[in-house]
Amino acid sequence: MLLRRFFGKAALHRDEKFVSVRFDEPFRVLSTCGANGGLCDGLDLVFNHQSCEPRQHMMPDLVAAHRKADEYSRQMMRRHGLEGRRAAGLGTAANMNNLCVSEAAHRELCVAAIATGGVESNAARAGDPASYYEYGGVFEKRDDIGPATPGTINLILLINAPLTEGAMVRAVMTATEGKVAALQELSVASRQSAGLATGTGTDQIAVAAPRDGGPPLTSAGHHSVLGELVGRVARDAVKQALAFQNRLTAAGQGSVGRLLERFGMDADGFAAAVAALLPGDVAALAADNAPVIAHDPLTVAGVAALLHVHDQVVWGMLPPMCWREAAVDHGALIAAAAANRPDRQIAYREELARRLGAAERDDPAFVAVQAVAIGFAEKWRNTENFLASVLGSGGSAREAAR
């Protein structure tokens, strides 16, 4: 089915688990595709398709079939009534019904990004430990490194004007930076390290522009309008796609549990760790209200600041010997937020410093858990004292309820 037309030069179709951008005139395509990849003229279309489900669906022949890229593409064209067409193809486990489009224009220049994406299991940071070593046609697995399930961000970028070959390469760079900006704004955690993700292990991209139509554009970097448009639509399309595929939104990421995932602690683990530090009745209250505690905006702000400082230490911007004191300072802010008691920040700092010293630990997850527990333990103490004073001056609880 035809979904949309672009610039009067290309058309977006979706058929089952197969999405294609079909060209009405000669286009030049630069892509990461196995078949007709690299810089290629004379293609009829670029496609993206779902080749498996995101979880527990590694069909025995799937990897072997993907390695026969030319035949895979040829058969895919036949399967969808496009026999004889030349195509560059992207593959993913993402649902094609979650495909998103972002468009932007300035004067006569128009750019569109078409994205699918999933990052829950395969997100990684550039430079993280790799899963495989390739040599002589062999892919050797490296220990137990790597994701158990797929996850991929695929981008098709359409530009309505010709580009030089160098500008097409630069468009890939700028679109990639747009994707990284999306992941940064969502605080997506790497699954291979304690860093923030910059992509997934299987991301793919195709950039397509008309071969003819006037002098080619020569720049797609930050200083050119083309670069601005490319970066913007890539970022926006990726954020939209992740919202639909993974329910991953900025508001949803505003959770202590989500922020601590890259340090080995999920939402359930965070709730359990906090409750374990509290007395029985308070622990039960904290457990029953775990999502509310974890999503409190000021608590999330404090944890986000703590993690940012930790990143600065890891990246070398701050000396490692500053970490413990900075962690205690920021932890006191977290405790004050959890308690709604900014006036108690100095006391919280002293208590947190004592706990870190006694445990000989100061990793971010430990600091955050201790700080929230300290704050929540005090959150309702003043109210309980207030209620007791009300009842003490006004009769029994039964009389007060009448």
So where are the chain's domains?
A: 2-251, 256-384
Residue 108 has pLDDT above 60, yes or no: yes
What is the per-residue pLDDT for 65?
61
150 — pLDDT class (breaks 50, 70, 90): confident
Strand, coil or helix: 133: strand
What are the C-alpha distances in Å from 181 to residues 34, 156, 160, 185, 239? Answer: 26, 17, 24, 6, 9
pTM above 0.95, yes or no: no
The mean per-residue pLDDT over the stretch 325-347 comes to 97
Residues whose CB falls within 8 Å of the CB of residue 171, separated by 6 or more in sequence, listed in order: 30, 157, 159, 163, 207, 220, 226, 227, 230
Percent of the chain with pLDDT over 90: 82
Q: Dump pLDDT digits (tens) for 57-105.
A: 566 666 666 678 889 889 999 999 999 999 999 999 899 999 999 999 9
Residue 212 has pLDDT above 90, yes or no: yes
What is the per-residue pLDDT for 296?
97
Element (H, E) at 156: strand 153-159
What is the per-residue pLDDT for 60?
67
CATH topology of domain 2-251: L-amino peptidase D-ALA esterase/amidase (3.60.70)
Which has more confidence, 132 or 112?
Answer: 112
14 — pLDDT class (breaks 50, 70, 90): very high
Residue 132 has pLDDT above 90, yes or no: no
Tally the C-alpha atoms within 13 A of residue 32's C-alpha that lie toward its C-beta.
Answer: 15
The mean per-residue pLDDT over the stretch 154-181 comes to 98
Strand, coil or helix: 111: strand
Residue 401 has pLDDT above 50, yes or no: no
The mean per-residue pLDDT over the stretch 154-183 comes to 98
The count of other CB atoms within 10 Å of the CB of residue 63 is 10
382 — pLDDT class (breaks 50, 70, 90): confident
Backbone angles phi, psi at 339, to 5 degrees: -90, -15
Residue 240 has pLDDT above 80, yes or no: yes
In the block, tokens 């007060």 appear at: 400
Residue 148 has pLDDT above 70, yes or no: no
What is the per-residue pLDDT for 8?
95
